Structure 1
Amino acid sequence: MEERIIYIDGQFYPKSEAKVSVFDHGFLYGDGVFEGIRAYDGRVFRCEDHINRLYEGAKAIDLEIPMSKEEMTEAMLETIRRNGLRDSYIRLVVSRGMGDLGLSPDKCPKPTVVIIADTIAIYPPEMYENGLVAITASVRRNSASSLDPQIKSLNYLNNILAKIEANRVGAAEAILLNQNGLVAECTGDNVFIIKDGVIMTPPIYVGALNGITRRVVISVIKQLGLPFEEKEFTLYNLYNADECFFTGTAAEAIAVTMVDGRTIGSGKCGPITAKLLEEFRKVTRDPSQGKEIY
């Protein structure tokens, strides 16, 4: 297979030659933001939503992206074209840029923009049929008073420490609670539970990312006329749910059948979850939901 082509600051490089400075503050301090985006059948799914969230995150950390949204979108599309991909995972990264060894962003005159287009498979196909096993992490989700979880920052240590816990016990995902013991989200996914026919997901303010896939699934739920609430809940509610599923750009939507050794519902992908997964996949292939690449 030919090398992937990577975009860096207006230029394209083979993967083996794609480099940023060791003095880049994204590398030194995790100072920057990113987006993970999917393309399906030659269209970038929910392109505008992702681009808007990237720029909103940059604004939140006082980082001025050195190109317009339209220029960023075109650079992303061209990166995908140069890699000849129709179905892909795209990573947009904007760091504070090259500076010195001090913390101050004032020493970084120009942000660094990197765009990667590749393929991705987070979970094996059989897991989408049988559901995944998750645990609850001992680490707590970052508080909005320290680092707002709505910002997709380059510092993902909070998520990574939770992922390490999952890896150590052979679980596919780890659920993060906030400082008050409420279910917030996972290391890379949003959480939904279903009880007595009502679908629930934590509100953003408890410490969850406003996921694009989360938004799409909520819109599907409403279109189907299913009972839905954005509602705080604890592990007690999750353990006793009839069904549970996670959503995320990379993972898409996937059933959860065991958490912390407790079987969720029947221990299989439930009927409501299965219906939502089916409808979500239809949306990803809807031409109106994507931006044409070619």
Structure 2
Amino acid sequence: MNTHSITWLNGQLLPTSQATVPVNDHGLLYGDGVFEGIRIYRRRAFRLQKHLQRLALSARAIALEIPLSSDELTAVIEQLIDAFPDDDGYIRLMVTRGEGPLGLNPKSCTQANIIAIADQLTMIAIDELQAGARLMVSSVRRLSADGLDPRIKSLNYLNHILAKIEANHAGADEAILLNAQGRVAEGTADNIFIVRNGRLLTPPCSEGALEGITRELVLQLGQADGIETSEQPLGVYDLYAADECFLTGTGAELIAVASIDCRSLPSCPGPVFQRLQQAFRRTIDQECGGIA
């Protein structure tokens, strides 16, 4: 962890190494809580209000009361950025169910813990990033929406971690999870796009994909640039037959894909990806460019 990493914990700013929560926090015991990842560019939180809105909806979906308002959380993030030494970085904002007795019943957890960590995050090593990511289709299936709705960004990522372990063992950079029907859902920590015949395609959230904030922006940027976009179900064949493929996410930003299951893609980085990446950077400049 970066020695510059700092944490806001229930009103206190601390070096991350000194920030602690009780061992009987249900966020630790059961993954009972929600989180958001937020990018810092030029000392500004990118699309903060969209992240806070998604956090609030995730919390409401699991009947978790966040003890701070959206305005108060905004002030927390601004305080954290002011204390963080780097101009660019990443914030992990978490709300846990809080302390409670052993046993998964949350009824006795009376006070949620709010934790915000500012640090650096790199999803894929720089050399792989430049060459393009190597993907594999995981045998681990995405939990179905009728079991756990993918729009809930909860603290329990075991499903995705198992897929990531599989990718590590296979020597791949990232894994793609399919849903129970065998269609493409998402990566372990990112959404997936393909380009075929000039069209930009991504699975709808009903297929098991997170409602990604970067995903939404990329669709908007594509439409604004005259690229035909579509949210539609995709099979593994569609990944293999793609002209281009790339990943998106707050942590990932935009990452071009070089191969899927050892099948090289015709173009990496492809022309559509490069146009969208330039538009993405322009959006960051427009929204976060006021501070050097």
Q: TM-score, normalised by structure 1?
A: 0.95
In structure 1, the partner of 2:265 is: 264
CA distance in 2, matches of 1:154, 1:94: 9
In structure 2, the partner of 1:170 is: 171
In structure 1, the partner of 2:282 is: 282
Note the alpha carbon deviations across 1:152-201, whole angstroms, 9 max, x for none.
10000011000000011111100000000110000001010111111100
CA distance in 2, matches of 1:273, 1:123: 17
CA distance in 2, matches of 1:39, 1:253: 15
Secondary structure of 2:13's partner?
Answer: strand
Contact kept? 1:214, 1:248, Cα under 8 Å: yes
Query: Structure 1 4/233 Cα, relative in aligned 2: closer, same or farther at 3 Å?
Result: closer
Matched length: 291
Note the alpha carbon deviations across 1:65-99, whole angstroms, 9 max, x for none.
00101101111110121123321100000000000
Note the alpha carbon deviations across 1:38-89, whole angstroms, 9 max, x for none.
0111211101100100111000000000010110111111012112332110
More deviation, 13-22/244-253: 13-22
| Offset, 1:292 | 7.7
CA distance in 2, matches of 1:136, 1:241: 15
In structure 2, the partner of 1:119 is: 120
CA distance in 2, matches of 1:29, 1:165: 23
Note the alpha carbon deviations across 1:214-249, whole angstroms, 9 max, x for none.
011111101101111111110011100111111011
| Offset, 1:16 | 2.5
Contact kept? 2:43, 2:81, Cα under 8 Å: no
Corresponding letter in the other structure for 2:36: E
More deviation, 141-150/60-69: 141-150
In structure 2, the partner of 1:243 is: 244
Contact kept? 1:7, 1:115, Cα under 8 Å: yes
Contact kept? 1:77, 1:293, Cα under 8 Å: no
More deviation, 13-22/54-63: 13-22
Alignment root-mean-square deviation, CA: 1.6
| Offset, 1:275 | 1.4
Secondary structure of 1:286's partner?
Answer: helix
More deviation, 212-221/257-266: 257-266
CA distance in 1, matches of 2:280, 2:192: 15
Corresponding letter in the other structure for 2:58: G
Contact kept? 2:46, 2:284, Cα under 8 Å: yes
CA distance in 2, matches of 1:92, 1:234: 33
| Offset, 1:112 | 0.5
Contact kept? 2:4, 2:119, Cα under 8 Å: no
- Structure 1 stretches of 5 or more lacking a match? none
Corresponding letter in the other structure for 2:82: R
Query: Structure 1 110/60 Cα, relative in aligned 2: closer, same or farther at 3 Å?
Result: same
| Offset, 1:2 | 5.7
Contact kept? 1:97, 1:108, Cα under 8 Å: yes
Note the alpha carbon deviations across 1:20-42, whole angstroms, 9 max, x for none.
00000000000000000001112
Contact kept? 1:41, 1:285, Cα under 8 Å: no
Q: TM-score, normalised by structure 2?
A: 0.96
More deviation, 2-11/270-279: 2-11
CA distance in 1, matches of 2:290, 2:12: 22
Determine if the alignment matches structure 1 residue 76 to structure 2 residue 87.
no
CA distance in 2, matches of 1:90, 1:291: 19
- Taking only the aligned residue pairs, the percentage that are identical comes to 48
Secondary structure of 2:81's partner?
Answer: helix
CA distance in 2, matches of 1:183, 1:248: 16
Corresponding letter in the other structure for 2:13: F
More deviation, 125-134/160-169: 125-134
CA distance in 2, matches of 1:228, 1:15: 41
More deviation, 121-130/33-42: 121-130
- Structure 2 stretches of 5 or more lacking a match? none
Corresponding letter in the other structure for 2:193: F
Secondary structure of 2:98's partner?
Answer: coil
Determine if the alignment matches structure 1 residue 8 to structure 2 residue 9.
yes
Secondary structure of 2:22's partner?
Answer: coil
Corresponding letter in the other structure for 2:276: L
CA distance in 2, matches of 1:84, 1:130: 30
Secondary structure of 1:174's partner?
Answer: strand
CA distance in 2, matches of 1:113, 1:45: 20
